[in-house]
């Protein structure tokens, strides 16, 4: 589906490449869908697009039914075979850890067909046709009835630009800043603030993004500052 491909990649060009059509064809299909629904699904900017609030809601509503349809179709067509491994992974993990190592795995095991899907939502193995899922879970959030293994630990800390860092001299100064949240991890700020002894901020503004990649588009830059605070008495 053109809309889902464009929404997940936030790019008409990537959606066109995935569907083997032109970007113009993707744009026309989405325009037709917007006309049918009577609402804008994307904000169109120069060389980029972003979902409107209605677009985000629509994507959330259609994703599960489309996943069911794809899984049912794959089973009926008998696409899976003994050497295939179907993986559903957290998008940031897939982009930053899994994909850079994919080539080496394929060089060593060319006979294994690895099929990767990314999703922000937990996998329901009773419904979804995956062999394994790589998800971000809390210590007490492990689903019952599944074999779970910790693969990587997640170290959570706030980051900011050098300009913002110059204005922060103490934890209380965060009260006048804008806190950026990613949709899949909405409690990170609250958990971190509680850990450092500052459970609430009264004046801080908030921005919310669908993914960590959108929330931190410049995380690779060298001038980004990281801050770590420990509880009193912690080593």
Average pLDDT, the chain: 80
Query: Token pair of 231, please?
Result: 């509880």
Q: How far is CA 109 from CA 103, 117, 231, in A?
A: 10, 20, 46
- Chosen CATH of 159-226 out of 3.30.360.10, 3.10.50.30, 3.40.630.40, 3.40.190.10: 3.40.190.10
User: Which class in CATH covers the domain with range 2-77?
Assistant: mainly alpha
Residues in the chain: 235
Phi first, then psi, for residue 57 (nearest 5°) are -65, -40
Confidence at residue 78, expressed as pLDDT on a 0 to 100 scale = 61
Q: Where do the structural domains in the chain lie, given as residue ranges?
A: 2-77, 80-152, 159-226
d(CA 171, CA 174): 6
> What's the whole-number mean pLDDT along residues 5-22?
86
Confidence at residue 231, expressed as pLDDT on a 0 to 100 scale = 46
Confidence at residue 20, expressed as pLDDT on a 0 to 100 scale = 84
Confidence at residue 79, expressed as pLDDT on a 0 to 100 scale = 54
d(CA 33, CA 29): 6
**Homologous superfamily of 80-152:** Periplasmic binding protein-like II (3.40.190.10)
d(CA 58, CA 14): 20
Three-state SS at 75: helix
- 51 forms bridges with which residues in the sheet? 42
Q: Are both 80-152 and 159-226 of the same fold? A: yes
> What's the whole-number mean pLDDT along residues 171-189?
83
178-182 and 48-51 beta bridge pairing: unpaired
> What's the whole-number mean pLDDT along residues 151-179?
85
Phi first, then psi, for residue 223 (nearest 5°) are -85, 5
Answer for the pair 225, 159: CB distance below 8 angstroms, yes or no: yes
User: Nearest-CA neighbor of 89 among 108, 114, 61, 117?
Assistant: 117
> What's the whole-number mean pLDDT along residues 164-177?
87
Residues contacting residue 81 through CB under 8 Å, at least 6 positions apart: 113
Confidence at residue 218, expressed as pLDDT on a 0 to 100 scale = 53
Q: Which residue has the higher pLDDT, 153 or 177?
A: 177
pLDDT(219) > 50:
no
> What's the whole-number mean pLDDT along residues 195-223?
70
pLDDT(225) > 50:
no
Q: How far is CA 101 from CA 93, 94, 152, 212, in A?
A: 11, 10, 15, 21
> What's the whole-number mean pLDDT along residues 90-118?
86
User: Tens of pLDDT along 44-82?
Assistant: 988 789 999 999 988 888 888 877 777 777 766 665 555
Q: Residue 235: which pLDDT band, with cuts at 50, 70 and 90?
A: very low
């Amino acid at each position: 589906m053109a809309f889902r491909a464009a929404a997940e990649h936030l790019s008409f060009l990537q959606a066109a490449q995935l569907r083997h059509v032109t970007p113009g064809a993707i744009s026309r299909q989405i325009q037709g869908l917007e006309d049918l629904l009577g609402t804008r699904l994307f904000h169109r900017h120069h060389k980029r697009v972003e979902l409107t609030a209605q677009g985000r809601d629509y994507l959330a509503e259609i994703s599960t039914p489309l996943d069911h349809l794809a899984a049912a179709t794959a089973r009926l067509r008998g696409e899976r075979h003994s050497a295939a491994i179907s993986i559903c992974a957290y998008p940031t993990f897939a982009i930053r850890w899994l994909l850079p190592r994919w080539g080496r795995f394929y060089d060593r095991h060319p006979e294994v067909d690895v099929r990767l899907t990314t999703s922000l939502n937990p996998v329901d193995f009773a419904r979804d046709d995956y062999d394994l899922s790589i998800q971000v879970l809390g210590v007490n959030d492990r689903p019952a009835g599944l074999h779970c293994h910790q693969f990587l630990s997640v170290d959570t800390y706030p980051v900011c630009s050098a300009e913002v860092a110059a204005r922060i001299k103490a934890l209380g100064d965060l009260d006048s800043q804008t806190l950026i949240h990613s949709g899949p991890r909405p409690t990170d700020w609250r958990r971190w603030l509680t850990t450092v002894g500052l459970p609430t901020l009264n004046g801080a503004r908030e921005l919310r993004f669908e993914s960590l990649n959108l929330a931190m588009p410049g995380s690779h830059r060298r001038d980004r500052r990281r801050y770590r605070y420990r509880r009193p008495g912690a080593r």
